[in-house]
Structure formats: structure tokens, C-alpha cells
Structure 1
């Protein structure tokens, strides 16, 4: 009986040692520094490391230590829910040499380890980001910081250029959506319309969907070298030219005027601009560009 009791106690001690070895709460690992942006644009893609946070982790053990780097609110979807992110290695300007999910374990080498995390947001506003170092389900260290996620700042622009061909006056219309903000504007609904200002009737219209990166502008026309719209005025008969691939086309007589309107919608934000072409019925100017 005593022998059996001894064996049971020995087994308990052995199991305790194994558990203690695998769940060592005395592992000397801590977050030394977090280098993170104070602001970040919504829907920002990889660009000059703007969507990265560097976590400097110090491993004071003489051996590699296996950890998980867990995060809250480093990646947030369109519903405001935190998602897993990635630890990335060896970016060469085009690709990473390795990508590891924050759900996976990584080995910290003795000394200082610089870990790069990707950040990304589908919503704007202030985000409290929490980073945790986990070793065998035990929290070794954690730190938090705040990042302000900024929206795009969209505006629209219309210009035109006049040319003549015999008895025809041809107005080539160029349309752009501009983003002067830090956030990326994805899936912007842009509409270009030519309207009869006397009747307010839309003569021709087209809607396209554009992505407008931060601090840039995107052309309404996706056909390189082609205008977004065409107005043809004639002192006689109009041409049979269809002006393809341009979709927004109006034909009339010299002396007619048309209202050209450009709108852009991103989420709940709407911006618009409009111009009269020609600006005066008897306009003689060459262009408005």
C-alpha cells in the first residue's frame, strides 16, 4: 500500500514538474518599446510603412522563447469588430519574405526582437490598440496605444477643352475625383451628367465606381486618352460620330447651353460640382482648362 502511495505521489510530482516547465510564468520577456503611427488613413494599403507598428520585445532568457503576440483592434472590419493581424518579415519594397498570423506561435531569440505588425481599419475614429505577449496561455506583458483613423477628403473637378471641326464646336469634358486626405476612398460612386438647364432634363449620364488613394486623384474616364464626356454643337447638321468609348454625349446647335454635373459619393459623404458649357451662348474662347 505504501509502495502504491509512493508511486502516486511520485507521479503527481512528475506531472507538476512537467506542467511547471511548460507553463513557466517566470519567463523574463517584456515589451521594451512600441513604435506606432498616431494617425492612419482608413483602408490604407501598404505604403511607406504607414500601416505598420513595430513592437520591440526583450527576451532576457539565454534560450529562444516561444510566444504568441496577440492584438486587439490592430485590424478592425467594417462592422467595428477586431480581427487577427499578421507579423511580417523582410519587406523588400514589393513583397514580404514571411508572414505569420498572430494566431500562430513565434520564437523570440535571446536579446532584442523587433516585430512588425500590420494595421488596417475599415472604420474611422479613435482606436485603442492592445498588444499582449502570451507564453503557454500565460500573459507575460502587455501594452496599449491609441491611433486616430482618418477618412478621405474627397472633392470633384470638371474641366473642358474646346476644338472646332468645320461647322462643329466640340467640347471635351474631363472629370476627376480628388482625395486630399490620409484615408483611402474605396468604391466611390461617381456620376457625370449632361443636363438641359431649361428643362432640367438629363440628356446623358453615366455612373462609375472608383478607388481614390490618399493624396491623389482618379479620372472618371477609365479609357486612357479619352474624355469623360463630349458636347457637340453645330451651326448646321450634327455629325454621325458616336464618340465611343465615351458614354456621356450630347449634340445640339451653336447657341445651346448644357449643364454638366459631377457628383461623388463615399459612404454618407456627397460632393458635387457643375459648370455651364459653353459658359456663354456665344462663347468664343478656346478652352477652360
Structure 2
């Protein structure tokens, strides 16, 4: 009986020692560096909204054979609400030219020596972002690093122009609109409202809302393009048409203009264009007839 108890104690001690060594043994893997791509800037990494790239993780495996680790990455990829979503990585071994792709991120196999891991990152919400990388081996956290990058928003603007066509009994004013983005970030889901206001009665007589997207540093993007019947060529179209007649207004529909108003010579109208993207608002107005 005493021998059985002794054998049980020895076996329990061996199991405990094995488990203890497994979880507390010397780590063979470490993070050497985290590096953003050169185009983000050398000192203060910066990208625009809707931009993306790869964060480079240089990781050293000091073992003489392949090692499995678990990689946890936070805040590398965010959705339009700023919530973190799963990303993916590319792993290049010390002598490999072809990467191993892991999606979603989880257990990763490292070759002996230096391994280059690339984490895909991208953001739709501006602000300061902190990517956190944790490395686990045998279920134990063995290394952690973080890197910060600034996400810059777009800077939207609106501009208006007009043309005047005079006919025998009335004048036709056509208002043309364009959007610009002078910022580094791209903008998707820009909501633009076009309204024609009769300033004599102080009422909105025509209104329309349309959606647009702008790339980074995109200037004078036309808000309306009209295609010909064969769709081989597009011409700049007005976003608003205002007809001022001496007598009875015409039957012209002025399609496909977004907004149309008709009045008599002597009436005053105002075209108001308001563009909104998240917390940004850009606005432009034009009096018809223009003030001279």
C-alpha cells in the first residue's frame, strides 16, 4: 500500500514538472520590430481613411525547428463604425519567397531564424489607432508590442457655377456643381442635398438628395454627367435648372436635372447645395439671377 502511494506521488510530481516546464520553459520566439510601410512616413506614420497597407512584424525563432505560436492582433482593421474586425496575415519564412496566408489570424508556424509577418490594416474612421500584437507559445504570453498610426479624414468642399441662356420669352439658368476632396483620406457615402428656394415666398420649390464618393486629393468631381443615347460620351450636366418667363412658363421638363424651378422674370431664387460626410459639412449657395 505504501509503495502504491509512493508511486502515485512520484507520477504526480512528474506530471506537474512536465506541465510546469511546458508552460514556463524558455521561450524560443520574440518580436524584433514592428514597422509600417515607408509611404506612411518615417516618424509619425499617417494614412487616410479608406487606405490600407501591411504592418511588418519581424519575428525571431531561435529554435532549430519549426515552432507553432498563437498570434493575437487588435485594432488592425476597423469597419465604418470604428469597430475592430478580423484581419489576415502573410508569413514569410527566413528563406521563403512565397508567403503562407492565415485568415483569420490564429496559430502560426514559424521557420527557424527570422520570419517576416505582414498584418493587413485599414480604417474607415479617422483618429489615432494603436495596433497591439501579442505572441503566445504553449498557451503563455511570451512577447507583446504595439504601434500607433494616425488616420487622417478627407476634407470635402462644394463649388457652383452657372450659365444663362436667353430665349424670346424667358431666361434659363443652369447651375453646375462639383465636389472636391483636399484631404489625404477618401470619403464614401457623401450625402449631398440640392435645393432651390424661392426667395420671394421663402419656400423650397425643388429638392433632391444624392450620394457620392471621393478619392483622396480628388478635385472638381462633377455632380452630374449626362450620357448620350449611345452612352459613348458623357457631358457635364446641371444639377439645377431655373426658368424665368415673361409670361406663361414653358412645358420643358429639363430632364435629367436633379432639381427644376419655374418662375417669372423678377422672381429671385437661391440654389443651396449641402454636402455631409460624418461630422463634416460643406455648403455652397448661388443666387438666381446672380447679384451684379
Q: TM-score normalized by structure 1?
A: 0.77
* 1:101 equivalenced with 2:104 (yes/no): yes
Could you tell me which residue of structure 1 aligns to residue 95 of structure 2? none
Residues 106 and 99 (structure 1 numbering): CA distance in 2 closer, same or farther, change over 3 Å?
A: closer
Verify the 8 A CA contact 1:189 1:265 in the aligned structure 2: yes
* CA shift for structure 1 position 73: 2.9
User: Per the alignment, in what secondary structure is the counterpart of residue 272 of structure 1?
Assistant: strand
Cα offset, 1:9, TM superposition: 2.2
Q: Aligned ranges for residues 1-289 of structure 1 at < 5 Å?
A: 1=1, 2=3, 5-6=6-7, 9-10=10-11, 12-13=13-14, 16-17=17-18, 20-21=21-22, 23=23, 25-36=25-36, 37=40, 38-42=45-49, 44-46=50-52, 49=53, 52-76=54-78, 82-88=84-90, 98=101, 100-102=103-105, 104-163=106-165, 167-216=169-218, 218-221=221-224, 225=234, 226-235=237-246, 237-254=248-265, 256-280=267-291
Q: Deviations over 1:122-161 (max 9, x none)?
A: 5433233321222232222222222222222121111233
Distance in 2 separating the partners of 1:175 and 1:25: 67
CA-based RMSD: 3.2
Judge conservation of contact 1:197–1:257 (CA < 8 Å) in 2: yes
Deviation per CA, 1:44-96: give whole Å up to 9, x if none.
144xx3xx312121222221211222223333456665444322479xxxxx9
- SS of the equivalent of 2:103 reads strand
Q: For this pair of structures, how many residues does the alignment match?
A: 269
Between the aligned partners of 2:160 and 2:101, the Cα distance in structure 1 is 45
Quick one: distance in 1 between partners of 2:33 and 2:167? 68
> Is the CA contact (8 Å cut-off) linking 2:91 and 2:115 kept in structure 1?
no
For residues 211 and 118 of structure 2, the distance between their equivalents in structure 1, rounded to whole angstroms, comes to: 33
Once the two structures are overlaid, the 10-residue window that deviates more, 151-160 or 124-133, is 124-133
CA distance in 1 between counterparts of 2:140 and 2:163 reads: 68
Tell me the SS of whatever aligns to 2:56: strand
Whether the aligned pair in 2 keeps the contact of 1:192 and 1:262 (CA below 8 Å) is yes
